[in-house]
Amino acid sequence: MFSFWVLLILTMYLAYMGWMYVNAGFMTLAYIAAVLFVLSFFILLYRKYTIKGSIKVPIGISEEGKNNLVKLVITNKGFLQVSRMKAIIQVEDTLLKKKKKYVMKMMSLPKGTHTFESNVSFSGVGNYEITLKSLRVYDITGLLYRNIKVKKWKTIQVMPKLHDAPITLTEGTKHFYGEADIYEDNRAGHDNSELLQIREFKAGDRLQNIHWKMSAKQDELMVKENSMPKSCPVVLFLDFQDKKECRKNMLSFIEIAASISFSLIDAGCIHYVAWYSDADMDVTRVRIDGEASLYYFIELAMKNKWVASKEDISVRYGEKYSMEPYIWKLTLDEELVLKKQDEVIKKYAIKDLEKEISSTEILL
């Protein structure tokens, strides 16, 4: 605290000059400076316990280039007005590990809560942590100050743009029948463990599907119609090996994966996205069957640290989910290479990524 030392040295200098030259003027100034110093010290100590701060982000999800409202809430429990105050705010991109600090100037009236708003715009996709690091409160002169540590934070996720990838589904993919614990609401199947509906008997129905008790009650033949499992014919594996030279590809990697998943859903293909989770220290997956699950996957992907897996994630996936077969294995790696089974489909270039994605046809 530079001003603290300046005032202390000035007070000692005035006292020394007044004592050395027996000068009443210097001694008077030294006394005034000393009283001011002590008064400021106790005022700042008082404000340490009466000034509180917090940060609020009304909307935690945003888009690239869009303004985001950030609110700084200052509570003054004391009876003294704070005429000068600064908030030290840090914005960190947790994906790319980049930090930037901002200073917000304000004041606070006694006995009240005040909200200060600011618009923050993020130029890049990512998971941002906005932290109120400290509040710098000044004394009545505006010369001395004290930092009040806060360390309260909120997060904002700037979502990647979703691009349309041309995906064509074969009949085998469209009508894939596999194991799943979620069933179709309006599509009949042959899974005896899940009943879709009971209806009147029609020509061609199998006799073993007749519901005899219900038929006796209705005085006509009724049959059980079983449901169809919502199985996933496609698994998209995200195999990002943490190589220093490939860290620059991280945001493009997530953007490509999100766009492929979005396009699969748009084509009517329920699927899994699987990757190595640093939190679970194992392969994890998300079932993508709509917009909500897609954005949930993107949220998890942007929070993941993308540490390298010690084994092939598709092999580990097969061990962990051995009872759930699938047809197609799509793999996207850290060099932005997309493979179908083990055949390279495309190596994406970061430049003009939208064109790269929209011009690559995927046949499944």
Residues 339/330, Cβ–Cβ less than 8 Å: yes
Q: Across residues 271-291, what is the average pLDDT?
A: 88
pLDDT(196) > 50: no
So what's the pLDDT on residue 127? 81
Residue 245: alpha-carbon gap to chain centroid: 24
Q: What is the pLDDT of residues 354-363, one digit of tens each?
A: 899 999 899 9
Phi, psi at 307, each rounded to 5°:
-80, 155
HEC string of the chain? Answer: CHHHHHHHHHHHHHHHHHHHCCCHHHHHHHHHHHHHHHHHHHHHHHHHHHEEEEEECCCCEEECCCEEEEEEEEEECCCCCEEEEEEEEEEEECCCCEEEEEEEEEEECCCEEEEEEEEEECCCCEEEEEEEEEEEEECCCCCCEEEEEEEEEEEEEEECCCCCCCEECCHHHHCCCCCCCCEEEEEEEEEEEEEEEEEECCCCCCHHHECHHHHHHHCCCEEEEEEEECCCCEEEEEECCCCHHHHHHHHHHHHHHHHHHHHHHHCCCCEEEEEEECCCCEEEEEEECCHHHHHHHHHHHHHCCCCCCCCCHHHHHHHHCCCCCCCEEEEEECCCEEEECCEEEEECCCCCHHHHHHCCCEEC
CA dist 170 and 176 (Å) reads: 10
> Which single residue is written with the structure tokens 């003009």?
352
Among 70-84, 126-140, 187-201, 263-277, whose mean pLDDT is lowest? 187-201
**Segment among 42-46, 198-202, 273-277, 296-300 with least mean pLDDT:** 198-202
| Interatomic CA distance for residues 88 and 155, integer angstroms | 16
What digits encode the pLDDT tens for the residues 287-330? 998 888 898 898 888 888 887 777 889 899 988 888 888 899 99
- State the pLDDT at residue 332: 93
Mean pLDDT (the chain, rounded) = 79
| Average pLDDT of the segment spanning 169-183 | 69
**Strands 98-108 and 82-93, how do they pair?**
antiparallel
d(CA 91, CA 104): 13
Residue 205: the pLDDT is 64
- Predicted local distance difference test score (pLDDT) of residue 272: 92
**Residue 186, pLDDT score:** 44
Question: Which whole number is the average pLDDT over 327-345?
Answer: 91
For the record, the structure tokens of 15 come out as 């006292």
> What's residue 182's pLDDT?
47
Q: How confident is the model at residue 212 (pLDDT cuts 50, 70, 90)?
A: low
CA-closest candidate to residue 157, choices 95, 240, 238: 95
